[in-house]
Amino acid sequence: MIEVQNVVAGYTSEVDILRGMTLQARKNEIVTLLGPNGCGKSTLLKTIVGFLTPRSGGITLDGKDVSRLPAHHKVRHCGVGFVPQTENVFSALTIRENLQVGGHYMAKADAAQRMQELCTLYPILAKKFNAPAASMSGGERQILALARALMPRPKLLLLDEPSAGLSPKVLLEVFEAIQAVRKQEGVTILMVEQNAMEALRISDRAYVLSMGTVALTGDAATLMADPQVRELYLGGRAT
């Protein structure tokens, strides 16, 4: 589905944030990226979606080289969806208008049908359909941001810390919404998360990043069960 091969990238010509990053996510998988702040997790997502161009290495989507394509092209023509960490909804717009933004280039009838599908998948959207996004809770806004990214039916969904700033209860609700996406949409999800253990519980596999490279990878259940991995990389001892 998505393959990243030996990618080097950064925000300035003097500093490489990604230093030979290699990973993959297969069709219909949830793959989580873990690691300390500054290790390159969000930079990797921005490079995959097209906000940054790799200095070297390559990114392929369904076997097609998309390394140098800009973000708008990947979203519109390659089936890539992206939900940033913060400021990811338009607070002054209604839920309906936010969804319309996500489907602005879709045919009108198709966009209307898609909004109905997403309101069925996430009933809170239908309940507050004509209310401003500013009226929503933090968890509800994350669900709206998720739904807006899903409007054009992406094949690959990139999520940058969907649980940021949420309480434990709301965090679980958002993760349930992410699981529903995979079940209902069959989409591949690549997710950056700081809540490592909760993220691993809904993931198939994970990569632990360190200093712009992959320090460790494996299936989620194995990583969760390894006491040394949990203590060194995941922020807690096995219980």
pLDDT in tens, the chain (239 residues): 899 999 999 999 889 999 999 999 999 999 999 988 889 999 999 999 999 999 999 999 999 999 999 999 999 999 999 999 877 899 999 999 999 999 999 999 999 999 999 999 899 999 999 999 999 998 899 999 999 999 999 999 999 999 888 888 888 888 998 998 899 889 999 999 988 888 999 999 999 998 999 999 999 999 888 876 777 666 654 43
Which pLDDT value is given to residue 238?
41
Residue 123 falls within a domain, yes or no?
A: no
CATH of the domain at 47: 3.40.50.300
Q: What's the Cα-to-Cα distance from 172 to each of 10, 151, 177, rounded to whole Å?
A: 33, 23, 9
Beta bridge partners of 2: 25, 61
The Cα 16–Cα 9 span in angstroms is 6
| Distance between start and end Cα atoms, the chain | 35
> Does residue 227 sit within a domain?
yes
pLDDT at position 37: 86
Q: What is the pLDDT at residue 239?
A: 39
Backbone angle region of 211, left / alpha / beta, with phi > 0 → left and psi within -120 to 50 → alpha: left
171 belongs to a structural domain = yes
pLDDT at 235: 60
The CA distance from 209 to 200, in Å, is: 15
Tokens 């519980």: give the residue: 201
Say if residues 47 and 18 touch (Cβ distance below 8 Å). Answer: yes
Supply the pTM of this predicted model. Answer: 0.91
Largest CA distance in the chain: 53
Residue 5: the pLDDT is: 97
Q: Say if 135 falls within a structural domain.
A: no
Is 145 a domain residue? Answer: no
| Domain-located, residue 180 | yes
Residue 211 CB contacts under 8 Å (≥ 6 apart), including other chains: 19, 39, 40
Give a yes or no: residue 110 inside a domain. no
pLDDT at position 169 is: 84
Domain count, the chain: 1
Residue 220 lies in a domain: yes
Q: Containing domain of residue 33, as a range?
A: 2-86+155-233
Of 239, 172, 190, 181, the residue nearest 34 (C-alpha): 190
